[in-house]
Amino acid sequence: MRSETGLAAPAPKWLALDRGTAPAARQQTFDSLGTPLRDVTFVVVDLETTGQAPGASAITEFGAVKVRGGEVLGEFQTLVNPGVPIPPMITVLTGITTAMVLPAPRIESVFPGFLEFAGFDRGSVLVAHNARFDVSFLKAAAADLGFPWPAPTVVDTLALARRALTRDEVPNHKLASLAHLFRTSVTPDHRALSDARATADVLHRLLERLAPFGLLHLEDLRTITDPVPPARRRKSTLADGVPHGPGVYQFIGPSGEVLYVGTATDLRTRVRSYFTAAEKRARIGEMVDLAVAVRTVPCESVLEAQVREVRLIAACDPQYNRRSRRPQRRPWVTLTREAYPRLTIARSLDVADLDTAWGPFGSHRQATEAVEAIQGLVPLRSCTLRLPRMPSPSARTCMAFEVGSCPGPCVGAVGAADYDHLVGRARRVLEGEVDELVDHLRERIGAFSAAERYEDALLVRERLRSALVGASRAERLRAWARVPQFVAARPAERDWEMVLVRHGRLAGTGRLAAGSDPAGALAVLRQSAEHVEPPRLVGAVTTAEETELVISWCQQPGVRLVELEGSAPPIALPIRGAHRWDLPPSG
């Protein structure tokens, strides 16, 4: 938000004097073959921003720690007025509010001082955790202000941690996890200087861990995260017979089992990358070391390759694939069919119930958060008892009723007509009228944030995100998966790429040469397409993930709907549906 008070913005806050950057002179030794790490000046940087993408978001806080030889030389910290209000979700995460940044200096006042402090033009090395994020914002700021980017050497502690630590030591490589493992002197808290201090401690511990691997000089940092074992390099011959073009590839284990399934726009290039430094995932490296063969399935189009990948993963359940496993068992949120309906999480859903359901969700936790979101707006009962329409004289209240989270139909505390009204509200939300729910959750987030109850606000934010994910996904599936048959076409380089979809399943693909008769190509496509019976259960003939791939393809620029079965319902999303809302960033 731009300040109009006329007050001069305060200068950046220097928390300690810079003690200089020139290393002490010493007699040259074999260390002169490279720059010893003890002589390298590291500037550990952390930024807080209004969002994830430069250009669409702005910097709200700088934090930097300059270290050399394990000694802190100086620190730099300042809030920055981004010129826009701080989004509530960012306030929940960082605690930085619009009121805090309003009197702060603008980026044009801060950036020159930061560059002078950092001394990148004098050989300092930039360090950050997930450095791509921070560097992208720094580059964008330099470009916007007309400063040449000094292009310093960049060290990413995230990459170093992946090289130095095993899953047995740490569950993930987030900064908080590393700080806990190494017991850093500062706990990261999503404020720039605290996170920079914690990252500096993590950097030193990681350098100690990696010293036995030959990390002794600055030059070693450029290759320490990219080693390729000789045995893996020798396996590159497995890619020799792989063709170019789109398709699916499978890595095969010593007993003929499928270890991993992937898709590529160019099979040969993608498979060869697994045997180079481009492949940095430790788990996938382990898979490549086990593999004895590569099997490929060339495809006519990228969409066909993506769909085949989803089907093969579901069929083979490869050990090293984490995505798309057991897609038919993903949870849905819907209403039960009882005298007093309640919200429930189901692993199976009738097609007839798709109108009043959300999902499928990626996890049971996400589905539970969606249930809690609706339950906070419409307090339906949560017990699993089969209640009669008329309350039993012997019925007793439960804890949920006592704390006010259940209206109590079991004891007649709410009449059948009033409970039916609550069910109707919940049903309308599930059908796509989510505005009331979104407004309710956003109000709660704002109230919790104002009271500095940030953990509670974060919990509600995750409920909001889960609700919008499930609701928007269900809207798309209702619109597209119920269509018995449609044909769509997209212009390719020299022809048209055609797809025939039945009940959300990709049943056939084809090509239409430019200038040829489309009627003949359509007839061939219909005759050669897979027969798909109308499903009774959602997911019986295809997975939601496959249908989502088809939908995404159909919504690309230039795609035309060629044919829609005459009795098919119109393909449309609800006017007041969840698709209109931007999803809040995940935590």
Say how far apart CA 541 and CA 532 lie, in whole Å.
Answer: 7
Q: What is the DSSP string of 482-540?
A: T-S-EEEEEE-SSEEEEEEEETTEEEEEEEEETTS-HHHHHHHHHHHSPP-PPPSBTTS
Which tens digit of pLDDT belongs to each residue from 233-282?
778 889 888 998 999 999 999 999 999 999 999 998 899 888 876 677 88
- If one compares 581 and 151, the residue with the highest pLDDT of the two is 151
DSSP designation for 233: H
Report how far Cα 449 is from the mean position of its chain's Cα atoms.
Answer: 24
Structural domains of the chain, with CATH: 13-221 (3.30.420.10), 230-325 (3.40.1440.10), 329-478 (no CATH), 483-568 (no CATH)
What is the mean predicted confidence (pLDDT) over 51-80?
94
Report how far Cα 562 is from the mean position of its chain's Cα atoms.
Answer: 34
- Residue 402's pLDDT band (boundaries 50, 70, 90)? low
Say how far apart CA 205 and CA 197 lie, in whole Å.
Answer: 13
Give residue 568's pLDDT.
58
- Residue 430's pLDDT band (boundaries 50, 70, 90)? very high
Give residue 135's pLDDT.
96
Give residue 513's pLDDT.
86
Alpha helix ranges (H) inside 69-106? 88-94, 98-101
**Options 190, 204, 364, 579, the catalytic residue:** 190
Say how far apart CA 157 and CA 209 lie, in whole Å.
Answer: 12
Give residue 566's pLDDT.
63
Residue 28 pLDDT > 60: no
Residue 538 pLDDT > 50: yes
Nearest to 118 by CA among 153, 79, 94, 88: 153
Which tens digit of pLDDT belongs to each residue from 551-579?
999 989 999 998 888 665 678 887 778 88
Say how far apart CA 350 and CA 411 lie, in whole Å.
Answer: 31
- Residue 214's pLDDT band (boundaries 50, 70, 90)? low
Say how far apart CA 364 and CA 537 lie, in whole Å.
Answer: 19
Which tens digit of pLDDT belongs to each residue from 120-177?
999 999 999 999 999 999 999 999 999 999 999 999 999 999 888 887 888 899 999 9
Give residue 582's pLDDT.
62
pTM over the 0.75 mark? no
Residue 324 pLDDT > 60: no
Give residue 62's pLDDT.
97
Which tens digit of pLDDT belongs to each residue from 413-429?
788 899 999 999 999 99
Radius of gyration of the chain (CA): 29
Give residue 411's pLDDT.
74
Say how far apart CA 430 and CA 376 lie, in whole Å.
Answer: 14
Active site residue 579: no
Task: List C-alpha distances in Å: 339 to 409, 417, 423, 503.
Answer: 10, 11, 11, 32
What is the mean predicted confidence (pLDDT) over 480-490?
90
List the structure tokens of 418. 């009033």
- Residue 61's pLDDT band (boundaries 50, 70, 90)? very high
The least confident of 57-66, 134-143, 156-165, 443-452 is 156-165
Residue 304 pLDDT > 90: yes
The least confident of 246-260, 283-297, 446-460, 554-568 is 554-568
Q: Please return the burial class of 232, using the count of CB atoms within 10 Å of its CB with bins 0-12, 13-18 and 19+.
A: middle
Give residue 569's pLDDT.
64
Alpha helix ranges (H) inside 157-276? 157-164, 175-182, 192-210, 218-221, 230-234, 267-273
Q: Please return the burial class of 237, using the count of CB atoms within 10 Å of its CB with bins 0-12, 13-18 and 19+.
A: exposed
Q: What percent of the chain has pLDDT over 70?
A: 88
